[in-house]
């Protein structure tokens, strides 16, 4: 069993930490939120007063943070993880951030004699709670091999995408596809509604035909066809519209930097920006069907 420092205990980090504790690991938790720390203690973790204290002497340090600037600060800033971690420790960043930040932090970790992987996740809060996340992992072979046993506690699939930063590249490409696909499914159901085609009948056809995709068969944006989808909970989030917009913006920034044409991704980012600006950022991203339907 390992001693693990876990930094960032939000909607995803909290349940991920709980699964590590259930597996028998000793976990020291840090977050700026007192409520999040209290939940971590209830799950069986101990409380650290700073990020450096969580990392001090730990075998593994895991972070789940909002954006690249937070990851840079926590790892490379004054009192950061890289300065506090013991030699040879394994660092796992599960945040979804820009590729440049991921590579900058990985280089700093390597220079300090530490192993590091970027390991963003797919699967949402439900996957975090169930331990069924998919990890897209970037980093050197030795670091990825060391990370596998830890990641497998929290997820059902661990895919080594390549060198440092490629986990982030895989995540933003995947979520750009997801954002575009969800919009296409929403548009199709709203067209069907206006054509007098029952939503269940469209689902029955498309789930077995060429329109089949995860946004339809697992996360259907209309109530009924998929009982576990957020549409049956008034679009309460699994994965918020704000988080989808963040990932779409990361994809657009990467496309601009690397001269990649992503017109559908740009259109998706624009629509999710409009939806969030209407005050719906805290709703599940599938809730954008309401805007497409003309609802307020």
Where in the sequence numbering do the catalytic residues fall? Answer: 171
DSSP letter string over the chain?
A: --EEEEE--STTHHHHHHHHHHTT-EEEEE-S-HHHHHHHHHHTPEE-SSHHHHHTT-SEEEE--SSHHHHHHHHHSTT-HHHHSPTT-EEEE-----HHHHHHHHHHHHHTT-EEEE--EESHHHHHHHT-EEEEEES-HHHHHHHHHHHHHHEEEEEEEESTTHHHHHHHHHHHHHHHHHHHHHHHHHHHHHHT--HHHHHHHHTTSTT--HHHHTT-SSSSSSTTSGGGGTT--SSBHHHHHHHHHHHHHHHHHTT---HHHHHHHHHHHHHIIIIITTSBGGGGHHHHTT--
């Amino acid at each position: 069993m390992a001693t693990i420092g876990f930094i960032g205990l939000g909607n995803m980090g909290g349940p991920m930490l709980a699964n590590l504790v259930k597996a028998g690991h000793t976990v020291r938790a840090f977050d700026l939120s007192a409520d999040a720390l209290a939940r971590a203690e209830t799950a069986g973790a101990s409380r650290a007063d700073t990020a450096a204290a969580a990392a001090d002497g730990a075998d593994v340090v895991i972070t789940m943070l909002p954006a690249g600037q937070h990851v840079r600060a926590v790892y490379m800033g004054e009192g950061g993880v890289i300065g506090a971690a013991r030699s040879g420790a394994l660092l796992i960043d599960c945040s979804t951030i820009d590729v440049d930040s991921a590579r900058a932090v990985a280089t700093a970790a390597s220079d300090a004699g530490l192993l590091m992987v970027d390991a963003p996740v797919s699967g949402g809060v439900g996957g975090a709670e169930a331990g069924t996340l998919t990890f897209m992992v970037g980093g050197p072979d030795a670091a990825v091999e060391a990370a596998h046993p830890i990641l497998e506690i929290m997820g059902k699939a661990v895919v080594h995408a390549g060198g440092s930063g490629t986990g982030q590249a895989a995540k933003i490409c995947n979520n750009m596809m997801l954002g575009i696909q969800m919009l296409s499914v929403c548009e199709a159901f709203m067209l069907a509604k206006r054509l007098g085609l029952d939503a269940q009948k469209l689902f029955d056809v498309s789930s077995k035909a060429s329109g089949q995709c995860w946004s339809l068969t697992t996360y259907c944006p209309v109530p009924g066809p998929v009982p576990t989808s957020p549409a049956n909970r008034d679009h309460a989030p699994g994965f918020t519209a704000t988080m989808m917009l963040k990932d779409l913006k990361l994809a657009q920034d990467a496309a601009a930097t690397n001269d990649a044409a992503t017109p559908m991704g740009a259109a998706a980012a624009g629509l999710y920006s409009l939806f969030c600006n209407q005050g719906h950022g805290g709703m599940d991203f599938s809730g954008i069907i309401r805007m497409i339907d003309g609802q307020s």
